[in-house]
Amino acid sequence: MSSPSTAPPAPNNLKRIVAASLIGTTIEWYDFFLYGSAAALVFNELFFPDSDPLVGTLLSFLTYAVGFAARPIGALVFGHYGDRLGRKKLLVLSLLMMGGATFAIGLLPTHATIGSMAPVLLTVLRLVQGFALGGEWGGAVLLVSEHGDARRRGFWASWPQTGAPAGQLLATGVLALLTAVLSESAFGAWGWRIPFLLSGVLVIVGLWIRLSVDESPVFKRALERAEARKADTPAERMPLVAVLKHHWRDVLVAMGARMAENISYYVITAFILVYATTSAGVSKQTALNAVLLASAVHFAVIPAWGALSDRLGRRPVYLIGAVGVGLWMFPFFALIDTGGFGALLLAVTVGLVMHGAMYAPQAAFFSEMFATRMRYSGASIGAQFASVAAGAPAPLIATALLSDYGTSTPIALYVIAASLLTVVAILAAKETRHRDLADVSPGTENGADAPVKTGAAEDARAL
């Protein structure tokens, strides 16, 4: 029997919350992935024209990685204020920042116009994108997790996760359409700007939907309890300090869990545009089409994996993905090397299905690790600090390995090593599926599954 704090909300209200989180995350990931695809396709020529083609691609991916470097800072800032002011306000701000930076990239002069200032400005805007995305993820998944039915939390919380493949699908689809209807010279001259400018329209739609939803009820109750107890408790700690004191093991688990998930995703979706076109002789259009179709499958399987995590637990499903993506790496590159579209599509699709088994339960899994008044900080820090070592350098490392060795073998071994690290992290974690988000206290760290009765007092001290 559900406690009042976790009683299922009205279905229509929950669906509206899910829709708001999904559409917002789709727009943010569209902006973020659009940059990654453009970095692989045209930015090396537009912003680093004096370099060797492969070196230009490396420099282009370096600006891509800069966005990841800003994500931990965004996680700290947005997590801090999200735990103090609420999830909704910070989600609106992150959407505005991301959309504004993406729109500005569409207006940016290239190296041919303003010289070396072009890549500098590009890097600054990429930093803004990364900062915004660092705060987006935690708030979006928490808004759904803290509204949702505890018995189906894995399923409902996985929907904001589908924003990643949906954003990838949208970004890749727009680029594929433009490369299909425009000549290569027209696309390089002005066509690449269209998807970036389109972000302005998408942000307006996203803001309209996000402003219509309510704040998380779990957070509002925790805030009320903390305010009522202020006179009787010591000064509240900053969320970061509280997270590192009470949940340091959970942060390490989250970081380890992200390694295979993050690295494999960017190798499969971003680096493939380089590898397939330079080593396998596949056209840009063919590579984009394969990622486009595979992203549609990825979108569909994430809620299914999330629902399975409600039945089997977060850890078993996560382990399926971590082991699966490691085992798939050698077949993945072997299929791409054939140069056939069907083989390329199969390689990317299976890789993303395995990735989905990690990504789907991640939202509920990370949310269930932390106490309410430090949950935004904890989930965001664990997820985004890992991205600096995982997703940020993944395309850069993969491209460098390809340049140095001329073969996919070291790249496959790189992903397999990340998979082994994630398996160790998940085995070190404890199952969280039955935890009540209103009752998880800082004292549990990575421990017991049973509800904790002191949640109110701990929430008051959490900051």
What pLDDT digit, counting tens, does each position of 59-91 carry?
666 776 677 778 888 888 888 787 777 777 788
Q: What is the pLDDT of residue 445?
A: 40
C-alpha–C-alpha distance, residues 446 and 91, integer Å: 28
How far are the Cα atoms of 134, 243, 395, 435, 440 from residue 388, in angstroms, in the given order? 11, 19, 12, 29, 28
Mean pLDDT, residues 241-256 taken together: 84
Please, what is the Cα angle at 288 between 62 and 193, to 5 degrees? 65
Q: What is the mean pLDDT of the chain?
A: 81
Mean pLDDT, residues 203-208 taken together: 80
Q: Is the confidence at residue 1, as pLDDT, over 50?
A: no
Whether 360 contacts 154, CB under 8 Å: yes
Percent of the chain whose pLDDT exceeds 70: 82
For the beta carbon of residue 201, count every other beta carbon within 10 angstroms. 12
What pLDDT digit, counting tens, does each position of 280-329 carry?
888 878 888 898 899 899 999 999 999 999 999 999 999 999 999 999 99
Q: Is the confidence at residue 58, as pLDDT, over 90?
A: no
C-alpha–C-alpha distance, residues 166 and 162, integer Å: 6
Q: What is the pLDDT of residue 60?
A: 66
What pLDDT digit, counting tens, does each position of 154-176 carry?
999 999 899 888 988 888 788 87
Residue found by looking up tokens 């989930």 in the block: 379
Q: Which two tokens stand for residue 176?
A: 């594929």
Q: When comparing pLDDT for 131 and 28, which is higher? A: 131
Q: Tell me which residue of 409, 378, 402, 398 sits closest to 65, measured CA to CA.
A: 398
Residue 265 pLDDT level (bands cut at 50, 70, 90): very high
Q: Is the confidence at residue 455, as pLDDT, over 60?
A: no
Q: Tell me which residue of 370, 338, 345 sits closest to 438, measured CA to CA.
A: 370
Report the sign of the C-alpha dihedral through residues 149, 151, 155, 161, in that order: positive
Q: Is the confidence at residue 435, as pLDDT, over 50?
A: yes
Of 2-11, 169-178, 202-211, which range is least confident? 2-11
Q: What is the pLDDT of residue 41?
A: 73
The amino acid sitting at 341 is F
**Report for 219-223, 234-238, 257-261, 400-404: range of highest mean pLDDT:** 257-261
Q: When comparing pLDDT for 334 and 283, which is higher? A: 334
Q: Is the confidence at residue 250, as pLDDT, over 70?
A: yes
